[in-house]
Structure 1
Amino acid sequence: GGGFGGALADLETHHIRAGGIAGKRFTARLESVFELGLGMLQARKLLAKLKPDAVIGFGGYASVPTMMAATWAGLATAIHEQNAVLGRANRLLATRVRRIATSIDGTQMVPEAAKSKIHLTGMPVRPTVLAARDTAYDEITDRGPLNLLVTGGSQGARVLSDVVPAALASLPDALKKRLNVTQQCRAEDLERVGAVYVQAGIKADLNSFFDDVPRRLAAAHLLIARAGASTVAEMTAIGRPAILVPYPHAIDNHQFANAQAVDEAGAGWLMAEDVFTAERLAGRLTSLFESPRHLVHAARASRRIGRPDAAHALADMVADMMPNGHSGEGRQAA
């Protein structure tokens, strides 16, 4: 646990060999299969030593060796899927494990034979996100501020730096004067993005990283972001509406499915990257800012589909399938 902070740093950790297969050349795939095989042998030996009551996988090929070894050993097993599409590793494991925890209702690509195993738990979020859930959605008045948060994942997103500033700069002056923009940009984009906002007379706080995103999200009237699992989980846990621009090259197009789920719930608006232009975004923003009731309704829908109790729901699901159930003393999970 030395690579983690907080309570995780005190946990005993074990490393199991694994290798991804998707998108690799034939020789690289053979090497990955070999690594997976070695990992399964490692995991089998480790599980025999640890004797866990349950083994839980959280997706990715790194989870495959241990989960396969656990199912062969007859242990209680479950997988958790964070996206609206079951990932490839989880699809491989779905028919073998006892339970499947999902984060979004209607998760796609679940094998028919495994659908009865689904438990909708949600995706656990950070304590700072849960604390921000108590922040009420700020009223939008005719002349009051319009707080906009723009994020693009841990490293920012170039398309947001290209499109959002240009769109905001083209808004009517009356709207531009009311804007308070917080935008995460790549370090190399900060200067040019800032120049656009300065020239347009728009108040903007720009950085390549913010360590208080939950607070800023709680203060926002609208989020513009990619549609990763963490983003969707956090915006709905706090209850904020969003314009989501899915990363088009995500495996199985899972970000599109995430954004579609938010859109269909009335909690936001999906804008595919190929139609995400400054002109179209400006039109959407003008409509929303001039008719703020749509933002208020979306904020309510976002909060409604949020799952702040996801960590507890997931823990309860795991405890229920352990040999000793909730009352088991000395429970251990791998």
Structure 2
Amino acid sequence: MTTRTILLAAGGTGGHLFPAAALAQELARRGYAVELATDERAEQYGSDFPARAVYRIPSATFTSRSPLAVMKTLGRLGTGFLRARRLLEMVQPLAVIGFGGYPTLPPIMAARSLGIPTMIHEQNAVMGRANRLLSRFADGVALSFSPTKNLRKSAEARAQVTGNPVRDAVAAYRKVAYVPPEPAGRLLLLVFGGSQGAHFFAESVPRALEQMPSPLRWRLTVVQQVRAEDLTDLREAYKEANIAAHLAPFFRDMPERIANAHLVIARAGASTVAELTAIGRPALLVPLPHALDNDQLENATRLEQAGGGWCMRQSDLTPDRLANELARLLGAPDLLAKTAAKSKAMGNIDAVKKLADLAEELAGPVE
């Protein structure tokens, strides 16, 4: 029987690659061969991507309106388009599915030029700029939130809400019940800034924890993802505050660490919110303040409105305020437990199956 292949295209960050990996795992279970087109940034996350092959396609983001910069970007996208077209002619996929970011532009546009069916998936509550452009002609548009802001009117008839799929490693911890902190017991706090870490948390969190009441501070164990250049200073800050801390630039067992946490402090990227709600853990979300279209703020607000966590703007988050908020939350195990339950109720664990169903429909029947 001829191998049925589907090509996935994703920007090279965890926010794009993780849901693509979830779909790749589900499609493999259904007998498809999966290949991935991405960019150079994927090295940290793409090495374990469940694909038969991973291709790097040239791409670029429009970061300036100057004529020279625009021409340079268009030139690189053009190179990516030609390389993507040659790749598609070689791989001959039944469908191409994009997960956002400008690296999805060349493969999706090349697929359209060759008459290969296409679909895009939007992880955030606000349509990303690359996806907004591609939604003009993609055969299908899969959404994680309803409603999704900035969805083109012309794309509404082709749009379906699937949710944001999570990897098998995340879904496995949905069965692990949340256990609130016991009186006088350890308090496990997990801090991470998305797949690439956050300098802001390295500066603000230890200063806040240092100001917390001693009975709470002595009970703390902090697990924090931190940029390599901040590691030494952060380790010293926790040592001076006499707080037990486990620090690393990247945790490959992040789903397990989320499941073990009593409270999570994190950015509000779409994959972060999807994984928190799939496992069901209470979170204090601090959206990236300069994110395009305020997508992280929108994601965090949706979680807060559902009662699954709290949203605090970075501009409002002084060490004093963060210390008071953490003392309030960590001192209220019943509140944490209720919030964990509401977070879990938001989790769409069937998202990957819904997305895979659309992918199979796009690929067409087995001949």
Q: Secondary structure at the match of 1:133?
A: helix
Residue 214 of structure 2 corresponds to residue 148 of structure 1: no
Aligned counterpart in structure 2 of residue 170 of structure 1, from 201, 206, 211: 211
- Identity over aligned pairs, percent: 45
Aligned ranges for residues 116-265 of structure 1 at < 5 Å? 116-265=157-306
Aligned ranges for residues 1-334 of structure 1 at < 5 Å? 5=47, 8=50, 10-11=52-53, 16-23=57-64, 25-44=66-85, 47=88, 50-324=91-365, 328-329=366-367
Is the 2:189–2:220 Cα contact (8 Å) retained in structure 1? yes
- Deviation for aligned residue 1:96: 1.1
Alpha-carbon spacing, 1:19–1:192, altered in 2? closer, same or farther (3 Å): closer
Write the distance in 1 (CA, Å) between the matches of 2:292 and 2:286: 15
- Deviation for aligned residue 1:251: 1.9
Per mean C-alpha deviation after superposition, the further-off stretch among 47-56 and 101-110 is 47-56
Q: Secondary structure at the match of 2:175?
A: coil
Q: TM (normalized to structure 1)?
A: 0.87
Q: Secondary structure at the match of 2:190?
A: strand
Write the distance in 1 (CA, Å) between the matches of 2:114 and 2:229: 51
What amino acid does structure 2 have at the position aligned with 1:249? H
Q: TM (normalized to structure 2)?
A: 0.80
Write the distance in 2 (CA, Å) between the matches of 1:46 and 1:200: 54
- Deviation for aligned residue 1:53: 2.7
Q: Deviations over 1:244-284 (max 9, x none)?
A: 11111222222222212211221111111101111111121
Q: Which runs of 5+ in 2 are unaligned?
A: 1-34, 37-42
Q: Deviations over 1:125-146 (max 9, x none)?
A: 2322122222110133332222
Alpha-carbon spacing, 1:23–1:265, altered in 2? closer, same or farther (3 Å): farther
Per mean C-alpha deviation after superposition, the further-off stretch among 156-165 and 184-193 is 184-193
Q: Secondary structure at the match of 2:137?
A: coil
The aligned length equals 325
Q: State the Cα RMSD in Å.
A: 2.5
- Deviation for aligned residue 1:217: 1.0
What amino acid does structure 2 have at the position aligned with 1:83? N
Per mean C-alpha deviation after superposition, the further-off stretch among 276-285 and 14-23 is 14-23
What amino acid does structure 1 have at the position aligned with 2:74? V
Q: Secondary structure at the match of 2:118?
A: strand
Is the 1:169–1:196 Cα contact (8 Å) retained in structure 2? no
Alpha-carbon spacing, 1:50–1:197, altered in 2? closer, same or farther (3 Å): closer
Write the distance in 1 (CA, Å) between the matches of 2:229 and 2:72: 37
Q: Secondary structure at the match of 1:313?
A: helix
Write the distance in 2 (CA, Å) between the matches of 1:155 and 1:60: 16
Structure 1 outlier segments of 4+, above 6 Å? none
Write the distance in 2 (CA, Å) between the matches of 1:174 and 1:273: 27
- Deviation for aligned residue 1:71: 3.2
What amino acid does structure 2 have at the position aligned with 1:166? R
Is the 2:179–2:337 Cα contact (8 Å) retained in structure 1? no
Q: Deviations over 1:84-112 (max 9, x none)?
A: 21111110111311211122332211112
The structure that has the greater radius of gyration is 1
Write the distance in 1 (CA, Å) between the matches of 2:195 and 2:111: 33
